[in-house]
Amino acid sequence: MTQLTSRASTPTPSRAVIPIVATTVLLSGFDLFVVNVVLAQIADDLNVADLSGLSWILNAYTIAFAAFLIPAGRLSDRIGSHRALVVGLALFAITSAGCAFSTSLTALIVMRTLQGASAALMTPSSLGVVLEGTSPDKRAGAVRLWAALGGLGAALGPVVGGGLAEFGWRWVFLINIPIAGVAAVATWFLVARSTPRREHHLGLIQSTVLAGSIAALVAALVNGGEWGWTSAQTAILAVIALAGFASTGLTSAFGRRPILEPQLLRVPRIIPAAAALLVFHIAFGAMLLTVILWMEAAWDWSPLRAGVGIAPGPAIVPIVAVLAGRLTGRISPQWLAGLGGAVFAVGAASWAIAVQADSTYAAAILPGALLTGVGVGLITPTAMAIGTSALPAQWFATGSGVLSMARQVGIAVGVAVAVACLGPASDVSDFHLTWWVTAAVSLIAGAPLLAVTKENRE
């Protein structure tokens, strides 16, 4: 059992932990999609013409975030969640400054990669702090709140980013600096120290291989339409991705120091939950990119107006997450998650049916925004709670890293799928196709959780 210590050897009061963790999770989620609403400004300022190039500003962050969550979780377990969270917040502030002062697309992509790696350290350490400071009987509710805040942060990115865009795109990164700095100081002084639990091999080399594999897959999806799906370039990237994933799988099964340790993967419920989160976040990533692009490109809305347009969805995510937590005594969690995927699918399908160049926001976009918000609030917190419910103390940060990695990989693939469906010269039919694909993916997202029986939920 984890032993916590502080200056007074007392547990961390929830009033200190919750605001700090909420800030951390909102920040890491916020920067996933804050760039969506300022892509046009970045393109003009940095002289970038194509969507495929701009998409790497999104995916560089997401891929680094995904690939380095496991070593970040292990580092958090090694040095303690408290210290890891302070370091992650400090690095996030520094890399946000680097993004803000980038003068070329290449520089911005590099800094977004480093920013994503910093967010990777913040994420499992923040959940580790929550799990360490929460009694077992209240842990599922705490995890639901943590997951809901992450989804809310990602979805609020376009809203807040739209307002900041009025002052220029660099402000969507500058705003992070004081927030992360204050959160780091508050964590250092107000969150109880956690005792390092065990030695961990960080697995940085294997994580780099995994990052390269995800990047190769995303590049193949993003450029396959332009190069040709059977072209040599696409085939080479596909082979690199498959080889990297195979290497990760083999080292996890047979290696002396695997990135995904077999003991962790044998923890009940973690694999079904990770699979559900990965599939669902493919739909989530495609959704957030395409709806914002439609409002700005087809309807010529400003970043602020587009951000406000998507806001009703994220606004109801935490409300639905709380209600879902109260329903788990009456409805099994895996069915709640499946319902969330289905509701999200209906929302995406409504856009494919209703959205046209001359349609109105209230009739075409708003219903789908509300439905997808309900879907996020049902499936993401529930799947995270299922996946973490059986984690022993020594796996808190690393296990949550596995689940968060699944989410980020899904988002990266979702953005790539959206770019592939939209193509270089998008018209309304391309957006409709993307939303139908999004609906289909979301509909099946809850299926892996059907393997979670009543017996192994308890």
Instruction: Write out pLDDT tens, residues 286-295.
Output: 998 899 999 9
Domain final residue pick, 258, 276, 298:
258
Question: Which tops the pLDDT comparison, 393 or 446?
Answer: 446
pLDDT one-digit tens code per residue, 45-89: 999 878 888 889 988 998 998 888 888 877 887 888 888 999 999
Q: Is residue 7 part of a domain?
A: no
Those residues whose C-beta lies under 8 Å from the C-beta of residue 139, and which sit 6 or more positions away, are 131, 388, 389
pLDDT tier, 15 (very low <50, low <70, confident <90, very high otherwise): low
> Do 142 and 219 fall into the same domain?
no
* CATH code: domain of residue 59: 1.20.1250.20
Q: Is residue 46 part of a domain?
A: yes
Q: Is residue 3 part of a domain?
A: no
What's the CA gap between 179 and 16, in Å, rounded?
16
> Do 242 and 150 fall into the same domain?
no
Domain final residue pick, 243, 258, 273:
258
Lowest-confidence segment of 139-153, 265-279, 329-343, 392-406 by average pLDDT: 139-153
pTM of the model: 0.82
Q: Is residue 2 part of a domain?
A: no
- H or E, element range at 4: strand 4-5
Q: Is residue 8 part of a domain?
A: no
> Do 157 and 221 fall into the same domain?
no
Q: Which domain holds residue 67?
A: 13-194+259-457
> Do 115 and 164 fall into the same domain?
yes
Strand, coil or helix: 168:
coil
Q: Is residue 174 part of a domain?
A: yes
| Average pLDDT of the chain to the nearest whole number | 84
> Do 220 and 361 fall into the same domain?
no
> Do 230 and 280 fall into the same domain?
no
Extract the tokens encoding 351: 């856009």
Extract the tokens encoding 380: 């993401």
Most confident of the ranges 270-284, 318-332, 402-416: 270-284
Q: Is residue 186 part of a domain?
A: yes
- pLDDT above 90 for 348: yes
> Do 170 and 63 fall into the same domain?
yes
What does the pLDDT read at residue 341?
96
> Do 317 and 237 fall into the same domain?
no
Q: What percent of the chain has pLDDT over 90?
A: 38
Strand-pairing partners, residue 7, are none
> Do 277 and 294 fall into the same domain?
yes
Q: Is residue 1 part of a domain?
A: no
> Do 226 and 336 fall into the same domain?
no
Domain final residue pick, 212, 243, 258:
258
> Do 28 and 97 fall into the same domain?
yes
> Do 54 and 137 fall into the same domain?
yes
What does the pLDDT read at residue 453?
53
Extract the tokens encoding 304: 């602020």
- pLDDT above 80 for 128: no
Domain count, the chain: 2
What's the CA gap between 335 and 112, in Å, rounded?
37
